[in-house]
Structure 1
Amino acid sequence: MEKGKNSKNIMDYATVTLLDAENAIEIIDQTKLPGTIELIRLKSAQEIWNAIYLLKVRGAPAIGVAAGFGIYLLAKEIETEDYEVFYEAFQKQKEYLNSSRPTAVNLSWALNRMEKVCIANKNKPVAEIKELLHKEALEIQEEDIRVCKSIGEHGLTLVKPGDGILTHCNAGQLATSKYGTATAPIYLGEERGYHFHVFADETRPLLQGARLTSFELHAAGVDVTLICDNMSGTVMKQGLVQAVFVGCDRVAANGDTANKIGTSVVATVAKRYHVPFYVCAPTSTIDLNTATGDDICIEERPAEEVTEMWYQERMAPEGVKVYNLAFDVTDHDLISGIVTEYGIAREPYTESLKEILSKRNA
């Protein structure tokens, strides 16, 4: 794994870059932010798997992009002209990468999309299939940029200049190729003089709101205020927040959404104080095969993230039990709208999400 340290503005760097000539993916190591902007290069299957699992690259869209680049590079290394041998090796690498994080649907979505390229072109030479995989991986990234900007345009119709916006975790540029999802309306609004006042939840236990969202928004010149997770109700009650925008890792067919742990708490509090709660979700995160949020596999992560990861000394007694879920599910009745690149879905989500996907498929 190659490393290089840099000190430019975080907004000057791409979250994920394919270095095709060097057979590598270059990412910002997000576990080192905000103290150090460090670019690392991933070449092996294990390095790519570890980077996703250890949150060096994170955020559903960015994971999808990294997965597309990763499976392309691994396919490129398969030395055979026999399609059946190639495809069997491809599938093994695909399943390995897919095991790194179960909740974010973009991981399997991108890998399945790449696999479809193999299947659709099985009668072509393996060398040609590899080049088609290359093109598809680059298209996944370019599509991500277009999708995020479109989400921003739709999201911007839901707020007005000067509004206070609260967000949870990081669904910003660091979680995508550009603009972010939940931050896309914020960045577009900043370009157009909306002068939003953004409140970023710190987002325990991994502090993505503190380390990443406040970092990138501040670097971009956005008026951002960092708050503790348990302050969201207070700023809403004080009238400082007119809308909540959050990201999403998976949308069930009924409109339940999985996002970073604590999101459902924000949604519940927002309903209490009559603040609209919007989920910004690319259509790639909509999973109609998952009926409700109860069917979403929720990742449980190591106890050390809670007890000692960010502290000089351990902050909990040795041997204490820890329950550390990475995500929770926000029930659809708490959601004012799901903002996609094809428009805003509203209740009943069982119908509106199908309509959104029909627009995409058309």
Structure 2
Amino acid sequence: METGKLQPIVWREEKLVLLDQRQLPGKKVFQELSRLEDVITAIKEMVVRGAPAIAISGCFALALEAKHRRGSFQFSDFEGLVKKVHSSRPTAVNLTFALNQARETVQNVSNWQQAYNLLVQFAIQLMEKDLKDNQTLGAEGTKLFPLEQNEFHVITHCNTGALATAGHGTALGVIRSLRDLGKKVVVYADETRPFLQGSRLTAFEMMEEGIECYIISDGMSGWLMNQRKIDAVLVGCDRVARNGDTANKIGTLNLAIVAKSFSVPFFVCATKDSFDLKLETGSSIPIEMRREEEVTQYDFLKDASGHPLLKPGMTSPLEARALNPSFDVTPNFLIQSFITEMGCFPPGEIQNRLKG
């Protein structure tokens, strides 16, 4: 499977190998995991992050647990494992869909060895499908740009590339695809407080790819759109409701409002598994709340031994309180188009495009 330079998820010798994204860009460290609980911890602690990557890792976690079980398969026990994995990151719907498919995969097996074999096969197929879908999505996204133009300036938020998926990426996948057409793309990456996925990960990916990239603070987009010609805002997503309301990394809503004010096209890049047609509007999307110290400190990123990965220090007074929602919801009227492997379309066409 051709994934490009960055492979954050690898299945090797019956173990799941994850690139520890908390330690980027300082160093590339891989964690080798052999138990379900280890994978759940890796998901919660953001060793692996990004909705597609979480879904793939969650399915490998089920396979790892099945490997250690003996005897006849008990579906009720498997349901308990699914619930554990699902609780690791509740906002992204990709994990929900993948776990539902995993249930169907093992519903007729008689023993845990059979379950293990089928779950490994399913997780690998899920990874291969995600890569293919991202490559198709990237190609579809280029159609929204005037290709007689040779240079494009885009703003991104969070990280939506190979590190968040099986490879290529969603929003960064469109950027890669434009580059592959011979276009110059200049990327402005929101730093994405408080976990800094934009400055740590997106900038890292763009440098690996040789794509020009400037880190901007999350509050700089208004100045940038006012001072320079921005061709588009490209973001990923974690869940899309039936009406097009979209949950994505906190700060996406602010960026969408600013883009609307300056008439800059705001595009959401999403594979089919990010659309949750069971939810009528974004008000029903669960929003994960994370630890306060991720906002009040900048030594919350630690390595496996508990040592800070950044210079220890406080960014606020001792005992200051903070709110730390991991996601916000951008209403459909701020979104010009969704970019998917099924083509590009506005929020009003979601139900027709996703039938069946």
TM-score for the superposition, normalised by structure 1: 0.90
Percent identity of paired positions between Structure 1 and Structure 2: 38
Counting only pairs closer than 5 Å after superposition, residues 240-319 of structure 1 correspond to structure 2 as 240-310=229-299, 312-319=312-319
Change over 3 Å in CA distance of 1:41–1:223 after alignment to 2: same
Q: Does 1:214 align with 2:184?
A: no
1:14 aligns with 2:7: yes
Name the SS for the 1:164 alignment partner: strand
Corresponding residue for residue 326 of structure 2: 326
TM-score by length of 2: 0.92
Please tell me whether the aligned partners of residues 71 and 111 of structure 1 are also in contact (alpha carbons under 8 angstroms). Answer: no
Aligned length: 340
Aligned match for 1:37, one of 23, 28, 34:
28
Distance 1:192 1:129 in 2: 43
> How far apart are 1:266 and its partner, in Å?
0.3
- Code of the residue aligned with 1:53 in structure 2: it is K
Contact residue 265 and residue 336 of structure 2 kept, 8 A: yes
**Matched-pair contact (CA < 8 Å) for 2:6–2:167:** no
Report the alpha carbon displacement of residue 11 of structure 1 after superposing the two structures with TM: 5.9
Aligned partner of 2:344 in structure 1 is: 344
Which residue is 1:353 aligned to?
350
For the aligned residue pairs, the C-alpha RMSD in angstroms reads 1.5
* Alignment match, 2:102: 114
Q: Hey, what's the Cα distance between the residues in 1 that align with 2:152 and 2:160?
A: 19
Structure 1 residue runs of 5 or longer lacking an equivalent are 1-9
| Residue identity opposite 2:354 in structure 1 | L
- CA apart distance, 1:129: 3.8
Q: 8 Å contact 1:16–1:66 — kept in the other structure?
A: yes
Distance 1:45 1:128, change over 3 A: closer
Q: Is the 8 A contact 2:156 2:234 kept in 1?
A: yes
SS in 1 for 2:220: helix
Q: 1:103 to 1:347 in 2, by over 3 A?
A: closer
| Match in the other structure for 1:52 | 43
- State the 1:24 CA deviation: 1.6
2:137 maps to 151
Preserved contact between residue 4 and residue 168 of structure 2 (Cα < 8 Å):
no
Deviations 1:44-90 (A, max 9, x none): 22211110011110000111111121111212222112x3x2x2221
SS at structure 1 position matched to 2:60 = helix
The CA deviation at 1:307 is 0.9
Relative to 1, partners in 2 of residues 1:347 and 1:357: Cα closer, same or farther, differing over 3 Å? closer
Tell me the amino acid that sits aligned with residue 101 of structure 1. R
SS in structure 1 of the partner of residue 354 of structure 2:
helix
Instruction: Give the secondary-structure state (helix, strand or coil) at the position aligned to 1:178.
Output: coil
**2:217 alignment counterpart:** 228
- Long gaps (5+) in structure 2: 300-310
* In structure 1, distance between residues paired with 2:28 and 2:347: 42
SS in 2 for 1:329: strand
Contact 1:298 1:325 in 2 (8 A): yes
Letter aligned with residue 44 of structure 1: R
Q: Are residue 136 (structure 1) and residue 122 (structure 2) matched?
A: yes
- Residue aligning to 1:190: 179
Q: Is residue 174 of structure 1 aligned with residue 160 of structure 2? A: no
Cα deviation, residue 210, structure 1: 0.1
- Amino acid across the alignment from 1:354: Q
1:93 aligns with 2:90: no
Contact residue 233 and residue 265 of structure 2 kept, 8 A = yes
